């Protein structure tokens, strides 16, 4: 038999798979309190805090003269004091956790489990049924396993209490705090003179 040479030319392109099983359950954005976006957001909240003495100045609390003035006042107060209101919410949340020891223990256990998982994840990946789990999936499992513990510790009632009290306190402050006395004192004096006439 004679040797036959064949000339084969061309290019081979390898297409990447559309979606692998590993990336199917990943979040589109990494959510972490240590991420630059979260640090920037908290930094902006901290920078935009108005002075607490101005925030609680009882001399600026007045009932609004009309409903349109009330709605305008609430919008301006929420815009001007939004960082202060955020920290009021955080303070109420901390108060609720401190006064409920069982809820505090439940949160500590969940956060501790997440911390241990993050430490173990740096050493080696965790596998369940021959599938490698991402850190987000592991956190999801911790949250799922923590649900009965949170239910028994009364987390649902605490969340609704914090939201309700926050809305009540922030709503009262936004409705009765006269922001015009802080931002435009001259306009406020003119309005008082016009109301007296």
Mean pLDDT by 10 residues, the chain (197 residues): 61 54 44 67 77 85 86 90 91 91 91 88 76 82 90 90 94 89 64 50
Note the pLDDT of residue 135: 82
Residue 195 structure tokens: 């109301």
Note the pLDDT of residue 128: 73
Note the pLDDT of residue 131: 77
**Collapsed DSSP state (helix, strand, coil) of residue 180:** helix
Exposure letters 72-108 (e unless 16+ CB within 10 A, then b): ebbebbeebbebbbbebbeebbeebbeebeebeebbe
**Measured distance CA(118)–CA(135) in Å, rounded:** 7
The answer to whether the CB of 124 falls within 8 A of the CB of 118 is: no
pTM of the model: 0.65
Note the pLDDT of residue 186: 62
Note the pLDDT of residue 25: 43
Note the pLDDT of residue 132: 80
Note the pLDDT of residue 144: 92
């Amino acid at each position: 038999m004679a040797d036959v040479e064949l000339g084969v030319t061309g290019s081979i392109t390898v297409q990447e798979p559309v979606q692998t099983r590993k990336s199917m359950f990943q979040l589109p954005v990494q959510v972490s309190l240590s991420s630059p976006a979260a640090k920037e957001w908290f930094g902006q909240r901290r920078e935009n805090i108005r002075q607490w003495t101005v925030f609680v100045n009882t001399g600026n609390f007045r009932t609004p003269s009309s409903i349109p003035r009330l709605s305008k006042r609430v919008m301006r107060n929420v815009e001007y004091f939004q960082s202060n209101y955020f920290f009021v919410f955080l303070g109420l949340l901390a108060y609720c956790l401190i006064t409920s020891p069982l809820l505090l223990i439940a949160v500590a256990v969940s956060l501790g489990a997440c911390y241990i998982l993050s430490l173990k994840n740096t050493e080696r990946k965790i596998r369940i049924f021959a599938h490698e789990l991402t850190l987000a999936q592991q956190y999801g499992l911790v949250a799922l396993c923590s649900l009965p513990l949170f239910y028994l510790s009364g987390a649902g009632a605490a969340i609704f209490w914090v939201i309700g009290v926050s809305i009540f306190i922030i709503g009262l402050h936004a409705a009765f705090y006269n922001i015009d006395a802080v931002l435009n004192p001259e306009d406020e004096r003119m309005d008082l003179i016009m109301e007296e006439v």
